[in-house]
Amino acid sequence: MEKLSAIMLAPKRFAVHDGPGIRTTFFIKGCPLKCLWCHNPESISSAPQIAFIEHKCSNCAECAEVCAANAHIFENGRHIFHHKNCIQCMKCENVCSNKAMKIYGRKISVCEALQIALEDIDFYKESGGGVTLSGGEPLTQSEFTFALLAALKEKSIHTALDTCCFVQQEKLRQSLPLTDIFLVDFKHANPEMHRKLTGQSNEIIKQNLQFLSDNNAKIEIRIPLVPNCNTDNVNIHETGKFLSTLNIETVKLLSYHSMARSKYVSLNMPDTMPITAPPSNEMIAEISDILKSYGLNVKI
Amino acid sequence: MPCINYKKDEQYLVNKFRNPVFDPSTGMSNNELRDKMKEVAENFINQGLSRPEVKAACFKYICENMQIDVDPHDFFPMFGTWIKPLRPIGPLIIIWYDEMWEKQCKDIAEEYFKRNESGISTVLLDFDHSVPDWDVLLELGFPGLRDRAEEYREIHRKNGTLTQKAEDYFNGLKITATALIDTIGRFIDFAQQKYPDDPRIKAEIECLKHLQTGSPRNTYEALQFIYLYFMFGEYIDHFQVRSLGNLDRLLYPYYKRDLAEERFTYEDIRELLTHFLMQWGSINNYWGHPFYLGGTKADGTTEYNELSLIILDVFDKLSIPTPKIQLKIAKNTPHEIFEKACDMIRRGHNSIVFVSEDTIKHIMTHHGYTEEEARTCRISGCYEFGVYGKSNGTGAGNINLLKPIELIFNDGVEPLTGMKISCDALKLSQIKTFDDFLASYFEYIKEALEKIIYYANRTESQLGIINPANIFSLSCENSLETAKDAFFDGSVYCNSGISLTGIASVVDALMAVKKLVFEDKELTLSQFKEILAANWQGHEKLRQRILQSPLKYGNGIYEVDKYADIITSFIADFVHPHKNGRGGTYGVSGHCARSFILHGAKTGATPDGRAAGEEMSKNCSPVMGMDRKGVTAMINSMTTMQATNMPGDFPLDVMMHPATVKGEEGIMAMKALIYTFFAKHGHAIHFNIFDPETLVDAQKNPEKYTGLQIRVCGWNVHFTDLAKSEQDFYIKRAFNIVE
């Protein structure tokens, strides 16, 4: 079991907003949704990806020297990285001393992940924290996720599963005994709007939330507030109405920001991020009040 | 209580110590006094007075002749001796200091200064770390201190121990205390004459009149007393008063009584504290002036009280970088206090350091102090601790931990000065293994420490005759009992510190040598020598590769971090058994103040990828940007070292992005982080929490960010006051954190 591995982004230690206390968060690559505002676009694909961060490049052309696929072209003194040519040998990342080439996604085994997690065990104990498996969608590499959760539980480490819930219910069933808290995104109450914004309807998500609630799972709902996408009063009321039927511990409101936009460019992904300002404090307060009116414990 | 809105007083208070205006008829200006001092001092010396008497006579001369002022915008009088680098008594101390180099220390002078110049180490005469017993001071007041000293003179007379030296000592104290009390009279007379009808001045006169004849009875008198002692000590007697004390504990009885007896209202107390703290806000000493809050009572409950929160809140509202606050933290620390401080830090009001009571106990008891001495310890300077009222610690020396690396590569010839260092280190060509390299490193370290200790012993043994500490001695009972100078050898514990600079830099340098030379055999030592001598020119790729190497202190890698422990253990084992020149011992400190810049400027390129002249790592923190796994890994690295090896202090600097610690969770995480650090025997922790974009904007538009503070080491400065290169350094670091 411990030899199982997953493709992951770099783990985040001293994660403070991914469940209770001080935590280590593992970001497992691969996500079934494609939310327009995704601020971790590097987590959508389950495969490793290489990014070119142009402003860090010094045009030294060392990458071109080691590249066998002709992916690094220098034209008129400008470095152009052809993502399509790249065979992901990762040699350019090794030679780039300016860190202009960055790999998103490395294979990490359960054993390695556990070792990383254990390094901060004193901090978890003091803060009531633990480990969060996030993504992407951690249940896309479910065998690994179950194995890591089980290994963490064996060490009595608090576990959180940050899931979009667009997964087979069976996977949630299996994760139930291994997970202390589920962090579940809820992006839109309307199935059609949900499909427009994330690529999928929310019916499965709702069913799965109902399932978790029925099985007395501890649930924190996280709502990304993206103006012009999901912050209208109708949606907030619908969201409140639905969530109030479930056994939800807290509802956390997350403000949209567009800081991830440069990642889309560096990864050569189409930039889908909405062009909108973050929600104002007044808007957040109003949304919070509406959700509270449905008896929800809202945190900003 | 004639309180008016602080805002009306703000302009006066900000300028009080920056652009003071005196009535020339009140006396001589700061510079006139200083210019006259040599002549005045020589006159007293020629009269055959002893040194404590000469110093006291000069003190009296300044008290009688300095300009003075009071102002209706203020609760505290103004002294005409307000320019710290040009304190009027300085020329007297210079006479005796020069005499030391002409006579007692003539034989070591040349090498002493050359070694300081070389950047191998610095040895200093430190008059800047005295902390009085504030409890006794407040209990006795100025007349009580004078009378107590006279009572001890009589005891010595009866016991037959009143030698001529003791007589001289007591004469110095008497002249000083009398001059101090008489000066309060000068303030009163001037105030009565200048503002006969101003209600606030009347209150100030009443306060001063009482302090002339008795000890403080209320909050205002207590604050006035602390201010006056500080000014007389720091600005006239030339001894930095390195803590304003355990303010909440000290002031609480007065505060309670004032409220109960309706002498002052809650608002009055806030107003008084605002004015009190603004004295130091205006003084704006680069290093800041500390006071500390909290602690634990004998019954195990906390010393924090409602006044602690008021002091914190007043400080918060002022948003000034100094005075600076040390918070004693234990598990009994009230959440409200801890969380308020974390929130202040998060908002940039970060002139605050947390110190661990448990770690202090762990360290102090290990070194033979009692649990009671640890519980009641004073915090001084940046975060240093010591026995309250019975100790006097000096910062005697500082060792550059990177210099020995440079010496190995240069076969013991110091490149900057050409000085040849003699010790048992191997020549570069004789070094065959990493163990050889390490053994040579320790030979140079040992040589440097031996020299620091020798020079510090020789020069510190002259401390008492260069600058007799009359005011400080008045505060110290052991000094009176023994008739010995409290700053020199009259305190119970007269210890000296040796601080370390560049522990992380040297670990990284050793790792680079170990890997490239001895493991991968990519370079020979002589090739490495050439590369370093060329300051990496033509080898930038290698330098970048070394900088990118994961083998860096600060990432929780035991195989790397263990060398920090090996080095500090070696140093502690060598230093701690040594006796100093004042009857005390030496202790190692993990903080380096500004030496990481100063020593860095004098050190050539080093194998860690550092270019010549660049700064080194600060305190026990990783080299800037080399900690890539975040704050928890950094703490794990640092606490690989044993706190007991650094009884001076063992501090960590943390830099974070505001988003990391936003919200309620952020505060809880900061608290848990601090508690975990302390559980691992970390001693002190302080923070810089800012967004790089803010710093960039502040650099471009300084006028928008006049209040933006940066925590440098154990003190704060305004970001806009930093040189551009220093600003760039923090900006670069902040961007590193974001990534």
pLDDT score of A55: 86
Mean pLDDT of B310-315: 97
Query: What type of residue is B52?
Result: P
Interchain pair A122, B668: CB under 8 A: no
pLDDT score of B704: 80
| Minimal-distance CA residue of chain B relative to A62 | B541
Average pLDDT, chain A: 94
Mean pLDDT of B87-102: 97
CATH topology of domain A49-104: Alpha-Beta Plaits (3.30.70)
pLDDT score of B193: 97
Q: SS3 sequence, A240-264?
A: HHHHHCCCCCEEEEEECCCCCHHHH
Mean pLDDT of B708-737: 80
With beta carbons under 8 A apart, name residues in chain B contacting A62.
541
pLDDT score of B739: 57
pLDDT score of A3: 74
List the single residue in A62, A97, A122 with the smallest CB-CB distance to B548: A97
pLDDT > 70 fraction of chain A, expressed in percent and rounded: 99
Interchain pair A122, B633: CB under 8 A: no
Interchain pair B544, A97: CB under 8 A: yes
Interchain pair B672, A17: CB under 8 A: no
pLDDT score of B3: 56
Can you list the alpha helix ranges (DSSP code H) found in B214-332?
Answer: 219-230, 247-260, 266-283, 306-318
Average pLDDT, chain B: 95
In CATH, the architecture of A5-46+105-299 is Alpha-Beta Barrel (3.20)
pLDDT at A216 over 70: yes
Give the C-alpha separation, B498 to B175, whole Å. Answer: 35
- Best mutation target among B346, B626, B629 (most A Cβ atoms within 10 Å) is B629
pLDDT score of B2: 57
pLDDT at A2 over 80: no
Touching check for B680 and chain A: CB below 8 Å? yes
Mean pLDDT of A99-117: 95
Is residue B623, in this structure, part of any structural domain at all? Answer: yes
Mean pLDDT of B610-622: 94
- Best mutation target among A9, A12, A14, A57 (most B Cβ atoms within 10 Å) is A14
Mean pLDDT of B461-474: 96
pLDDT at B357 over 90: yes
Give the C-alpha separation, B229 to B279, whole Å. Answer: 13
Give the C-alpha separation, A52 to B292, whole Å. Answer: 50
Distance, in angstroms, between B669 CA and closest chain A CA?
6
CB atoms within 10 A of CB B573: 11
| Minimal-distance CA residue of chain A relative to B558 | A119
Q: Tell me: the pLDDT tens digits for B187-215?
A: 999 999 999 999 999 999 999 999 999 99
Q: Tell me: the pLDDT tens digits for B98-135?
A: 999 999 999 999 999 999 999 999 999 988 888 999 99
Touching check for B521 and chain A: CB below 8 Å? no
In DSSP notation, B461-517 reads TTHHHHS--HHHHHH-HHHHHHT--IIIIISSB--EEEEEE-HHHHHHHHHHHIIII
In DSSP notation, B586-634 reads EEEES--TTHHHHHHHT---BTTTBPTT-----TTSPSTT---SHHHHH
pLDDT > 70 fraction of chain B, expressed in percent and rounded: 99
pLDDT at B735 over 90: no
pLDDT at B616 over 80: yes
List the single residue in B547, B669, B680 with the smallest CB-CB distance to A22: B669
pLDDT score of B624: 87
pLDDT score of B286: 81
**Nearest CA to B666 among B347, B245, B252, B291?**
B347
Instruction: Give the confidence band of A43 by pLDDT, cuts at 50, 70, 90.
Output: very high
CB-count burial class (<10 Å; 0-12, 13-18, 19+) for B298: exposed
**Nearest CA to B566 among B549, B555, B553?**
B553
Is residue B439, in this structure, part of any structural domain at all? Answer: yes
pLDDT score of A1: 57
pLDDT at A106 over 90: yes
With beta carbons under 8 A apart, name residues in chain A contacting B660.
14, 16
Residues of chain A numbered 22-41 and touching chain B (CB < 8 Å): 22
Distance, in angstroms, between B659 CA and closest chain A CA?
10
Interchain pair B669, A16: CB under 8 A: yes
Q: Which one has a higher pLDDT value, A78 or A6?
A: A6
Distance, in angstroms, between A19 CA and closest chain B CA?
9
CB pairs under 8 A between A and B: 70
Q: Tell me: the pLDDT tens digits for B489-503?
A: 999 999 999 999 999
Interchain pair A126, B675: CB under 8 A: yes
Give the C-alpha separation, B476 to B529, whole Å. Answer: 54
- Best mutation target among A57, A94, A104, A127 (most B Cβ atoms within 10 Å) is A127
Give the C-alpha separation, A62 to A74, whole Å. Answer: 11
* B500-516 b/e (C-beta count within 10 Å ≥ 16 → b): bbbbbbbbbbbbbbbbb
pLDDT score of B4: 58
pLDDT at B620 over 60: yes
Q: Tell me: the pLDDT tens digits for B324-338?
A: 999 999 999 999 999
pLDDT score of B710: 80
Interchain pair A119, B675: CB under 8 A: no
Count, residues in chain A? 300
pLDDT at A142 over 90: yes
With beta carbons under 8 A apart, name residues in chain B contacting A300.
663
pLDDT at B89 over 70: yes
Mean pLDDT of A34-53: 93
Interchain pair A123, B673: CB under 8 A: yes
Is residue B592, in this structure, part of any structural domain at all? Answer: yes
Angstrom distances, CA of residue B388 to CA of B3, B66, B352, B492, B591: 34, 33, 21, 10, 21
pLDDT score of A75: 86
Count of domains for chain B: 1
Contact A9, A120 (CB under 8 A): no
| Minimal-distance CA residue of chain B relative to A128 | B672
Is residue B99, in this structure, part of any structural domain at all? Answer: no
Instruction: Give the confidence band of B625 by pLDDT, cuts at 50, 70, 90.
Output: confident
Interchain pair A16, B666: CB under 8 A: yes
User: Cis peptide before B323, with omega less than 30 degrees from 0?
Assistant: yes
**Nearest CA to B49 among B87, B90, B96?**
B96
With beta carbons under 8 A apart, name residues in chain B contacting A278.
none
pLDDT at B728 over 90: no
Q: Tell me: the pLDDT tens digits for B24-54?
A: 999 999 999 999 999 999 999 999 999 999 9
Residues sharing a CB contact under 8 Å with residue B140, sequence separation 6 or more, in sequence order: B147, B148, B215
Is residue B645, in this structure, part of any structural domain at all? Answer: yes
Touching check for A218 and chain B: CB below 8 Å? no
Is residue B83, in this structure, part of any structural domain at all? Answer: no
Task: Please determine whether the domains at A5-46+105-299 and A49-104 fall in the same fold group of CATH.
Answer: no
Written as six digits, the tokens of B189 are: 């007379």
Mean pLDDT of B499-513: 98
Domain that holds residue B532: 394-657
pLDDT > 90 fraction of chain B, expressed in percent and rounded: 87
| Three-state SS at B417 | coil
Interchain pair A127, B631: CB under 8 A: no
Domain boundaries, chain A: 5-46+105-299, 49-104
pLDDT at B737 over 80: no
